[in-house]
Each structure stands twice: as C-alpha cells, then as structure tokens.
C-alpha cells in the first residue's frame, strides 16, 4: 500500500511540474503577444502615415535600420535595434531625440527590413521572453500611405 502511495505521489508531482511549466510558457506567450501588438502598432502608425520617404540601410554594426524622411519639414527618423530594444532616433535641425519603442521585459533579438515594393516594407522581428527563453517570430507588411521606399 505504501509503495502505491509513493508511485501516485511521484506521478502527481510530475503532472504538477508540467502544468506549472506550461503555465510559465503561456504567460510568456501572452507577454510576447502584448509586446508584438505594442511595437508593431507603433511602427505601423509611424511609417504608414507620417513618412514621405523611407530608405532601408545598414548601420555601422551591419544591422538593418529604416531611415525615414517624415512629412514634417526637415525631420528624419531612424528605426534600429540595439541591446534587445527597438529605438527611434529623431532629428530636426540640430535637435536629436532617441526613444525606445519596445518594452523592457521582452527582448527583440532580430529586426529585419525588406523592400516589398515601391510603397511597401516588410518587417521581421524575433521577440524573446528572457525568463523562459521562449521566442516568437513575427512578420508584417507596412504600406506607406503618404510616401515611398527608395534605394
């Protein structure tokens, strides 16, 4: 009888551990989905409506970046990935500002921009939850409603 109780207890502990691990992964998946929604909507809103010209380029570290000439006079924006965060650097004349556009809890491990046409950019991002190591890849296509993509 004692042996049966030990076996049942061991099986029960394994089941509880599996449920807790799945729960952590589920919570990480929810956090990644929130980060995707926030980051993608910000980039989509900015590029779709406020850009008259976008250029896909590489920075000094051979990372993809998007250089944008905004519809506002003499304003440029640079979208790039640094240390797991997506940033937008804005310059107007001599004034420069840099803002993070992704949450600090979820890392962006990849940011790739692809020209899909004269008025369309494809963006591929990998987002990772550092606590669980769970990583998801998302892709989106952005239509530049007020601008075009140049070489």
Q: What is the DSSP string of 80-135?
A: EEETTEEEEEEEETTEEEEEE-S-TTSEEEEEEEEEEETTEEEEEEEEE-TTT--E
- Helix H or strand E encompassing 23: helix 2-49
Domain count, the chain: 1
pTM of this structure: 0.76
Q: Nearest CA to 68 among 37, 38, 35, 101?
A: 101
Cα→Cα distances 70→1, 67, 90, 123, Å? 76, 10, 10, 19
Residue-level pLDDT, tens digit, the chain, 151 residues: 777 776 767 666 676 676 667 788 888 888 888 888 888 888 888 888 888 888 888 888 888 889 888 877 788 888 888 888 888 888 887 777 888 877 778 899 999 999 998 999 999 999 999 988 889 999 999 888 888 898 7
Give the whole-angstrom CA distance, residue 11 versus residue 4. Answer: 11
Domain that holds residue 77: 2-150
């Amino acid at each position: 009888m004692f042996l049966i109780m030990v076996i049942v207890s061991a099986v029960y502990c394994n089941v509880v551990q599996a449920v807790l691990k799945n729960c952590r992964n589920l919570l990480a998946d929810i956090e990644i989905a929130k980060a995707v929604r926030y980051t993608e909507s910000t980039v989509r809103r900015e590029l779709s409506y406020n850009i008259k010209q976008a250029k896909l380029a590489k920075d000094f570290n051979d990372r993809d970046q998007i250089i944008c000439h905004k519809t506002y006079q003499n304003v440029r924006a640079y979208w790039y990935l640094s240390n797991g965060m997506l940033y937008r650097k804005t310059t107007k004349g001599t004034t420069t500002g840099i803002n993070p556009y992704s949450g600090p809890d979820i890392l962006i491990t990849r940011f790739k921009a692809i020209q899909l046409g004269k008025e369309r950019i494809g963006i591929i991002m990998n987002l990772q939850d550092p606590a669980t190591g769970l990583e998801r890849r998302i892709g989106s296509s952005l239509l530049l409603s007020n601008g075009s993509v140049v070489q």
